Structure 1
Amino acid sequence: MRRPYLLFSLSAWSAVLLFSTVAACAGDQKKETTPMTVSNGKQVTLEYTLKLDDQSVVDTNVGGEPLKVTQGGHQIIPGVEKALDGMAVGEKKKFTVAPADGYGTVDPKAFQEVDKNLVPADSRKVGTQLEGKTADGQKVFPRISEVKNETIVLDFNHPLAGKTLYFDVKVLDVAQASLK
């Protein structure tokens, strides 16, 4: 008679051990499914819309190709990197980026006056973006900021320099960045 009791006792202990193991594994699974948050070194996939003070949309990728960046890799402006830090997959955020954390303030030294004949006649309009190369071969994209009688004033500042930027972002994915 004692034998069945011993079997029951062993079976009961086995069940307790099995239950403990299953519970521990379930706990491990919970830890693994906790969403990763944006932090330095993580690859972040984003959907975003960028607006200006007048609420005009400057850029958006909503409904298009998501943006993939490595957080902390200086691939995007500092104000956006700061705002993304700590966000989780699926999280949405609206935030404002001041010029200092965006494309900088307008630099008066970035304006250059050139002879009017250096610019094609059909491009001599305020706001026209030109393409050129520096002496060392680097591409530049100045905009015409003023047309004078004999000269044209070119603005080499980024088009969004001096502007406050308004972002709507959604984190679509956060993953460990691949080593290159």
Structure 2
Amino acid sequence: MNIGPNTVAVFHYTLRNEAGEELETSRGAEPSAFLFGASNIIPGLEAALAGKASGDVFTASVAPGDAYGEVDPQRQQRVPVKHLLFKGKLRPGMVVQLNTSDGRIPVTVVKVGRHSADIDTNHPLAGQALSFDIEVVDVRAATEEEVAHGHAHGPGGHQH
């Protein structure tokens, strides 16, 4: 079976930035699972996985526009430090969590003041071309419940 509409793909990945530095990997842990076509992963990675089958191993290069977007300079703002979740001393360059009405989002600290901080709400990987080393572990038909919920269930997917 190939990855396509109404399928769940289970895969291991290693994510690298433009400099080739490893940023994240699923190796040594549970593989990731996603429902194809439900926008559960970045568009460029989903497009690269389309048509692949269990056992396929490949590298996918994803441009910033198909990953986390380009950096938008308008997405910087000043917020009270009490709205940020972090450990230790707050420093420029740290990626911390910002409490919003829609939940927590990762933000990058640009400048730290006594009671407030300037933050960048662009995704930390915005503006970067990314490389994914992929190993497709399994491809299966999605259940009706997964299609209705818009995500994969079970190991590597969403748990209810």
Give TM class, smaller chain.
Answer: 0.7 to 0.9
Residue 83 of structure 1 aligns with which residue?
48
Q: Compute the displacement of 1:116 (Å).
A: 7.1
Check if 1:163 corresponds to 2:124: no
Cα distance between partner residues in 2 of 1:50 and 1:72: 21
* RMSD of Structure 2 on Structure 1 (CA): 2.3
Cα distance between partner residues in 1 of 2:39 and 2:21: 26
Cα distance between partner residues in 1 of 2:27 and 2:42: 19
Give the SS at the match of 2:144: coil
Q: Compute the displacement of 1:160 (Å).
A: 0.5
Instruction: Confirm or deny: 8 A CA contact 2:83 2:99 kept in the other structure.
Output: no
Pick the aligned partner of 1:127 from 90, 93, 112: 93
Q: Compute the displacement of 1:140 (Å).
A: 3.0
Change (3 A) 1:90 1:137: closer
Cα distance between partner residues in 2 of 1:123 and 1:87: 45
* One-letter amino acid of the counterpart of residue 75, structure 2: A
Identity of aligned residues (%): 33
Instruction: Confirm or deny: 8 A CA contact 1:97 1:166 kept in the other structure.
Output: yes
Q: Compute the displacement of 1:128 (Å).
A: 2.2
Instruction: Confirm or deny: 8 A CA contact 2:70 2:126 kept in the other structure.
Output: yes
Give the SS at the match of 1:142: strand
Cα distance between partner residues in 2 of 1:123 and 1:141: 17
Relative contact order higher in (CA < 8 Å, ≥ 6 apart): 2
User: Structure 2 unaligned runs (5+)?
Assistant: 146-160
Cα distance between partner residues in 2 of 1:90 and 1:117: 47
Cα distance between partner residues in 2 of 1:175 and 1:118: 42
* One-letter amino acid of the counterpart of residue 39, structure 1: G
Change (3 A) 1:177 1:146: same
Change (3 A) 1:69 1:137: closer
Cα distance between partner residues in 2 of 1:81 and 1:101: 10
Q: Compute the displacement of 1:73 (Å).
A: 1.2
Give the SS at the match of 2:41: coil
Change (3 A) 1:100 1:139: same
Say which structure is richer in helix: 1
Say which structure is richer in strand: 2
* One-letter amino acid of the counterpart of residue 47, structure 1: H
* One-letter amino acid of the counterpart of residue 117, structure 2: I
User: Structure 1 unaligned runs (5+)?
Assistant: 1-35
* One-letter amino acid of the counterpart of residue 89, structure 2: S
Change (3 A) 1:40 1:137: closer
Bigger-Rg structure (1/2): 1
Question: What TM-score do you get using the length of structure 2 for normalisation?
Answer: 0.79
